[in-house]
Amino acid sequence: MNDLRILGIDTSGKVASVAVMDGTRLLWEKSVYTTLTHSQVILPMVEQALKESGLELCGIDCVAVANGPGSYTGLRIGIGAVKGMCMGCETLRCAGVSTLLSLAYNCAAFKGRIIPVMRARPGISYVGVFESDSRRVTRISEDTVAKDSDIFESLDTSVPVMLTGDNAQAVKQQFFKDNDNVLTANAACELQRAGSLCLAVNDHISLITEADKLEVSYLQATKAEKDKAHSDKQEEEK
């Protein structure tokens, strides 16, 4: 564990979440399930976090942000906000953290395999596979987007498995209803939490980068890219 002072920001889903962590101490955290756009709520939450923690932005070592997968618009808002912060404070570093890695850290106290599963489209999920020794989380496979049946019908459940993320309950009911070796995270650990972003960066400092290298990882084509591909295909068929 590294002794970093980290500001965490997650705008990857329905929850807007901000946290401040100083080494092993969680100084401040707030998560709001909101109908407002993240652009309306995230910066006021950051201001509140710093004020109530007694900190200035330039007193932070790193800003951690969820860089995907997740909501296309939400991810862009979060990444844009962090780049703006770094432009205003030259000493500030940043880290893009997989949303799935962060979700795995929600359940870091669990000893076994952790599988975050986020709904992408009906029957299709964003999935990551991680292992936890009850403190540190390590990656087993790369994040992917795939059909639920392709992933879970053949999943090895001989070791304890913890499902988390917004599609965890549905996957449990469909594929593992009677399998006691497959558990689901409780409500407090099921959705994105900025404090888990901070934990991930503290354990994996290689995630820290410069603001101009911070990018979104969508895992699937955006609507604009899909529309362009469809248009290009129509042009080719003429």
pLDDT tens for 5-61 read: 999 999 999 999 999 999 989 999 999 998 888 999 999 999 999 999 999 999 999
**What per-residue confidence (pLDDT) applies to 238?**
52
**What per-residue confidence (pLDDT) applies to 226?**
43
pTM comes to 0.92
* Cα 143 from Cα 173, distance rounded (Å): 22
**Bond prior to 44 in cis (omega within 30° of 0):** no
Residue 158 has pLDDT above 80, yes or no: yes
Please report the domains of the chain, with CATH numbers, ordered by start residue.
5-99+192-226 (3.30.420.40), 100-190 (3.30.420.40)
**What per-residue confidence (pLDDT) applies to 46?**
98
pLDDT tens-place string over residues 162-213 = 999 999 999 999 999 999 999 999 999 999 999 999 999 999 999 999 999 9
Query: Bridge partners of 127?
Result: 117, 144
Residue 76 has pLDDT above 90, yes or no: yes
Q: Are strands 111-121 and 25-33 parallel, antiparallel or unpaired?
A: unpaired
